[in-house]
Chain A
């Protein structure tokens, strides 16, 4: 067990080193900074509450950039190693395939976490420019945005154990859209009848609700925080992330590396 944890740390560290050199990371970083700057432009030309608009649009931009980053990193996290055959030598060491997946995932999750801090740093600098500084609710919103991206990363990692990076990215986008809209769709179809109702109910259990993980309104409008709801939301996100990574580990353990 100790040996597996040590191997896991080595794999996570190596994954982090590899991913931070990616061109896609730079592209997403540019996009994230661009979205924050766009928020600044929009807030400056809007009527009233510029700091609130800036914070709202800025946090949304950071969320989009983090999710895109998670998708891009996760979609090739394992399949690329199979294509490049770097995986073969690693798996002939005393490293479980499960530990390999978890190590890769943790390395990528660390990149996402660092990116979220970096993006927020840019947003904070811009907020200071309009004389609106840091507030503790931002940390809550940012933490849940990072958790949402981590769930997406876990799904993309699962897909990368099963298919090509391109298909994994496409399926990840679908997962993102469904997870972000499942609660709204359910509300819209509250009075609907027929086959669509059980499908939506089933989907609600299969995919996570990103609506539950959205604490941006707390940061923007100062909505009251219910600690029980925060804990439940964190549990919701973490459960899905752990389950998806466990599925990814299982998928790789069954996979032929021919």
Chain B
């Protein structure tokens, strides 16, 4: 069964009263099975938040169909079965962490007593047990993110929709929440979360949808996506004032003097054999090898390459 189904979603903002139109989503489509931890990836401005808002019925789609737990976004049926954490969560600063979670529990139809019990348990679970009675105005950004997650979980939802939930957290906090997402997935909940950081999705999701410029660039397994990315081998040398061996720079797909280091040179190779040959040549020539690393193509570079490829295909 599908927890989320999006087909041909289109959305345009502006275009009236002299405002420049902006096509936020062109033709977005993907499906999330129940019980999955699913990553929705893309750089900032890719259309992730727009898609999430349309799924939640906060904005209307210009075209396409969206379903959430089998219902259209404007229906009320799914609302007590879904927890949502927005990007940059904003709550009422005069409420304490516990009061916030209780309020959202009561809005979800819970009794006051059940909401209080759930708040107590969930704030412990997200690591805010020590700050339950503290006002949100005194919470840090990371703490707000955590209380946002607690309120999303308060009514024991089947589906969690989290928009950039790891933004603003320190490395320890990120790891804790990633572990929590895995736990939630193990409990049989569907977790759908957006991020622009690939490593977050890699460590928690089996399947991802990658969007950029309002279009889907990839849907499928993380492994499949990983295999599609280029790997490079980066060699950093200190050549003093000596000349580099013949053909060394020519064999690299990218070369650049390291800024701030007078005689250092970075050479990138897109082939492992070529990189190792260059490393041997450099050592034979008595050059100092500062670093030799395999480097995976960054998500941003991958997006750019995919966008360029799509544009070339469209032009052809």
Contacts and interface: CB of A to CB of B under 8 A. Distances in A.
Given A84-B90, A85-B88, A257-B53, A91 B103 contact: no
A94 B109 contact: yes
A137 to B, nearest CB: 38
A14 B96 CA distance: 12
A122 interface: no
A256 B58 CA distance: 6
Contact of B56 (A6, A18, A92, A95): A92
Interface string A1-35: 00100110011001001100100000000000000
B94 A6 contact: no
B59 interface: yes
B59 A86 contact: no
B59 A94 contact: no
A93 B79 CA distance: 5
Interface string A78-109: 00000011101111111110000000000000
B60 A256 contact: yes
A60 B59 CA distance: 45
A91 B58 contact: yes
Contacts of A21: 94
6 contacts: A85-B89, A88-B53, A89-B84, A89-B148, A95-B79, A256-B60
A11 B104 CA distance: 10
Contacts of B169: none
Nearest to B13: A258
B92 A256 contact: no
Contacts of A94: 76, 79-80, 107-109
B84 A96 contact: no
B184 to A, nearest CB: 18
A18 B92 contact: yes
A26 to B, nearest CB: 15
Interface string B30-61: 00000000000000000000100100111110
B104 A89 contact: yes
B107 A7 contact: yes
B90 A85 contact: yes
B106 interface: yes
Interface in B5-51: 13, 50
Contacts of B58: 88, 91-92, 256-258
A3 B108 CA distance: 8
Contacts of B142: none
Contacts of A10: 103, 106-107
> 4 shortest A-B CB distances, which residue pairs?
A94-B79, A93-B107, A257-B58, A92-B84
B151 interface: yes
Given A18-B94, A86-B91, A86-B92, A93 B53 contact: no
B50 A90 contact: no
Given A89-B104, A257-B59, A258-B13, A6 B109 contact: yes
Listed residue (A86, A93, A95, A258) with the most chain B CB atoms within 10 angstroms of its CB? A93
B86 interface: yes
A93 B155 CA distance: 10
A13 B175 CA distance: 37
A94 B86 CA distance: 16
Max count, chain B CB within 10 A of own CB: residue among A14, A91, A94, A95: A94
Given A85-B90, A258-B50, A90 B60 contact: no
Given A3-B109, A90-B104, A94-B109, 15 more contacts: A6-B109, A7-B106, A7-B109, A10-B103, A17-B94, A85-B86, A88-B84, A89-B148, A90-B107, A92-B56, A92-B58, A93-B80, A93-B108, A256-B60, A258-B50
B260 to A, nearest CB: 42
A221 to B, nearest CB: 44
